[in-house]
Chain A
């Protein structure tokens, strides 16, 4: 029963990550992406997926999908019905699944964050409906498969599984919220294993939307730089397999990291602008620390939301500075959106996997183009590739509409 739900009589279980899959403009898979993030490489190029000749900005971080996909349990027709977003999600889920080594399950929960889901299919539906109003070819398939819950179920089918799907669409915080919610489900004792992640593909409408807001950088995306002038868009997907520590130990699983804290709240200040002082950002970082039982002194790195827009970064910088207090002066912070762009609903999940990489491999992802800090930054930005001792990291995700999420991961050794 969903209600009343079983309540734990023991302490909440510890939750670990035993599988992680990632697809970004760097490529597919942990190793390729780790190499890209570690070096601070930038993955932007002229947009080829749709016409940007009338747009103000013409670059983004596009994913090159492989010519042939690894085998899955989807047949050709099922796979063909997925759009780019769905295909990236399948790739990420397969990698995470393989890494985790889980058995096929009939009641596996899948918590997924997205802002657009299968919007590319929605766009195709709209264009055909207008341009060929009497032609019905493939329209029914598009009408079904644009829905994110259908794509999520397809991912489970690709893994040979089935189970309840929850789609969280808290704008650009969605991926972080999805992983945080999965953590809560396991901690409540409602499941021992949950798959969670986030995804979004580049689409003409969303690109045009950010361009119309003049939120896209016409130069280079430089989060927290005093001379920043906007964000860059990207696309991708990331999936993590979360399970109780007990379950992982029983299986002798390779643990990538422990998820120890999650905080979320909403900032009602404005639909597209954060509160200037970052009051809700500060609150969610505090909530995440409280749930993790740590203080800012314990945090070794912050993977910031850091979009590169004037308003987000000054608000977040104020919040991190206030939250970290004395620790701020030596607390390394960076935004990996400088490398792969803003993945919207996929951002929080991809950045969670980047955090796992930093914990596992002991390095910090730099922003190579960073020049001079915004005055609100009381903390150092990571500007060069560097190895570091990283035991606990915090990842921020904020969305249009004001939902903020923070996750805290701890190194497993």
Chain B
């Protein structure tokens, strides 16, 4: 088995357009302000946490492929470029063959609503420029076109837990030597229909937009000091395995309690939604951060924020290891464990990685 390292992380969130902004918001631990989202037919707007308009227009938007793209592509691209920055700055790695896996739940909702609205009004005038951007695979394609050296690309759809399925797929591509590095991106944009849909399940959930990315590699020299050491099995929800049992099973594969480790969970501060995950981790003695509590329910982007925040904390040498807990809405529970890799990089070639998880 090859060892898999994290070469870089990226994040776009309601806190801002990079990981530093994400880190700052999580350290501050204060709920970010919400913005009104006009809901057609209602006097009172819905609330969401949106990505702030960047102070400076991102340079990548000058690329011809990105001119008319929707926000989800902007978020995915910015997160991808941030995660790749280290690799691209390294002359030995900047021509690496890349894989891209973009994971989505809602996907390109803004252009989909816009195009369907145009269709309902008069299909004869519905815009051919908008339609292609409604496709789930559009952000993947744009990011691949911008980066140029992408040889493999998949778009995966699922509930937020499937972000780690995407990470697992990336490790396979690396292990099979099909790519030199693999970006795994979770991205979402939001609008009134996403906020409206969530109200059916909990009136107080605040939806959010953004993206997160991990850049995975096999070469320890390219590592940002973080190693992926485990992704649990997918614990599928069923009549026999409800969310609570699935979350417990996931947690059981992520190893022992440690007060020096970090838990990056998916709590959103809504009792009914959080119950399963809270029960699974109720005896966790270490530090825990809950990005969704601060940033909002970012769906697949939030899953990627959790991983990015965990890896960033390790890269900043604040913890020796970090566990990420993803308990999905309607699919499964999956967790991951990352460890600091900086101390043993020189002896990587034959050394077995440190593992605290139950195999």
Same complex origin of A and B: yes
| A220 part of interface (Cβ distance < 8 Å) | no
B141 close to A402 (CB less than 8 A): yes
| B136 part of interface (Cβ distance < 8 Å) | yes
Chain A contacts of B167 at CB under 8 A? Answer: 3
A167-B156, A167-B157 known; A2-B123 Cβ under 8 A:
no
B137 close to A166 (CB less than 8 A): no
Within 8 A of A (CB), among B124-150: 124, 126-128, 131-138, 140-142, 144-145, 148, 150
A1-B233, A168-B155, A211-B123 known; A266-B150 Cβ under 8 A:
yes
Residue of A nearest to B119 (CB): A208
B140 close to A401 (CB less than 8 A): yes
The 8 Å CB contact of B126, one of A147, A163, A209, A272, is: A209
Segment from A123-131, A248-256, A369-377 that makes contact with B: A123-131
A133 close to B41 (CB less than 8 A): yes
A1 close to B359 (CB less than 8 A): yes
B41 close to A134 (CB less than 8 A): yes
| B281 part of interface (Cβ distance < 8 Å) | no
B4 close to A169 (CB less than 8 A): no
| A16 part of interface (Cβ distance < 8 Å) | no
Chain A contacts of B131 at CB under 8 A? Answer: 208-210, 212-213
Q: Which of A125, A136, A402 has most chain B Cβ within 10 Å?
A: A402
User: Chain A 192-205 against B: per-residue CB contact (8 Å), 1 yes, 0 no?
Assistant: 00000000000011
Chain B contacts of A170 at CB under 8 A? Answer: 137, 140, 153-155
| A81 part of interface (Cβ distance < 8 Å) | no
A167 close to B168 (CB less than 8 A): no
A125 close to B152 (CB less than 8 A): no
A126 close to B230 (CB less than 8 A): no
CA distance A291 to B54 in the complex (A): 46
Distance (whole angstroms) from the CB of A11 to the closest CB of chain B: 15
User: Chain B 166-204 against A: per-residue CB contact (8 Å), 1 yes, 0 no?
Assistant: 011001100100000000000000000100110011000
A126-B193, A147-B159 known; A5-B172 Cβ under 8 A:
yes
Within 8 A of A (CB), among B80-121: 100, 104-105, 112-113, 115-117, 119-120
CA distance A214 to B119 in the complex (A): 14
CA distance A402 to B197 in the complex (A): 31
Interface size bracket, B side: 35 or more
Chain B contacts of A205 at CB under 8 A? Answer: 112, 115-116, 119, 134
User: Chain A 98-134 against B: per-residue CB contact (8 Å), 1 yes, 0 no?
Assistant: 0000000000000000110100001101110110011
Chain A contacts of B112 at CB under 8 A? Answer: 122, 205
A271 close to B132 (CB less than 8 A): yes
CA distance A266 to B138 in the complex (A): 12
Chain A contacts of B41 at CB under 8 A? Answer: 129-130, 133-134
CA distance A402 to B154 in the complex (A): 11
| A264 part of interface (Cβ distance < 8 Å) | yes
| B306 part of interface (Cβ distance < 8 Å) | no
Residue of A nearest to B129 (CB): A212
Segment from A87-95, A148-156, A321-329 that makes contact with B: A148-156
| A55 part of interface (Cβ distance < 8 Å) | yes
| A139 part of interface (Cβ distance < 8 Å) | yes
A56-B124, A400-B138 known; A266-B144 Cβ under 8 A:
yes
Segment from B207-215, B284-292, B329-337 that makes contact with A: B329-337
Distance (whole angstroms) from the CB of B335 to the closest CB of chain A: 10
Interface of B is mostly: mixed
Distance (whole angstroms) from the CB of B174 to the closest CB of chain A: 10
A2 close to B1 (CB less than 8 A): no
| B321 part of interface (Cβ distance < 8 Å) | no
B40 close to A401 (CB less than 8 A): no
A163-B236, A212-B128 known; A169-B200 Cβ under 8 A:
no
| B231 part of interface (Cβ distance < 8 Å) | yes
A1 close to B232 (CB less than 8 A): yes
CA distance A212 to B133 in the complex (A): 13
CA distance A205 to B4 in the complex (A): 42
Distance (whole angstroms) from the CB of B306 to the closest CB of chain A: 16
CA distance A129 to B162 in the complex (A): 28
Residue of B nearest to A190 (CB): B172
Within 8 A of A (CB), among B1-48: 1, 4, 39-42
A401 close to B159 (CB less than 8 A): no
Residue of A nearest to B104 (CB): A169
| B323 part of interface (Cβ distance < 8 Å) | no
Distance (whole angstroms) from the CB of A7 to the closest CB of chain B: 6
B158 close to A149 (CB less than 8 A): yes
Chain A contacts of B142 at CB under 8 A? Answer: 271
CA distance A2 to B1 in the complex (A): 13
The 8 Å CB contact of A169, one of B116, B156, B171, B228, is: B156
Chain B contacts of A214 at CB under 8 A? Answer: 128
CA distance A140 to B200 in the complex (A): 6
A272 close to B132 (CB less than 8 A): yes
Within 8 A of B (CB), among A2-19: 2-5, 7
The 8 Å CB contact of A400, one of B132, B152, B233, is: B132
Apart from A139-B200, A166-B156, 7 more pairs, CB < 8 Å: A3-B336, A165-B331, A188-B172, A209-B119, A214-B128, A266-B152, A400-B141
Q: Which 8 A-B pairs have the closest CB atoms?
A: A133-B41, A401-B141, A209-B131, A140-B200, A401-B137, A2-B168, A268-B145, A169-B136
